[in-house]
Structure 1
Amino acid sequence: MGMSAGGAKSGGGRRGRRGGRSRSGAISEINVTPLVDVMLVLLIIFMVAAPMMTVGVPIDLPETQAKAMNSDTQPITVSVNPEGQIFLQETPITIDEILPKLQAIATTGYNERIYVRGDTAAAYGVVMKVMARISSAGYKNLGLVTLQEQEQ
Structure 2
Amino acid sequence: MAMTGPFGDDAGDDTLMNEINMTPLVDVMLVLLIVFMVTIPAMQHALKIDLPHVASQPVSTAAQHVDVGVAADGSLLWNGEHIAEDALATKLLAAAAAKPQPELRLHADRNVRYERVADVMARAHEAGITQLGFLTDPQRRP
TM-score (norm 1): 0.45
**Bigger relative CO (Cα 8 Å, ≥ 6 apart):** 1
Q: Write 1 or 2 for the structure with the bigger share of helix.
A: 2
TM-score (norm 2): 0.48
- Which protein is bigger by CA-based radius of gyration? 2
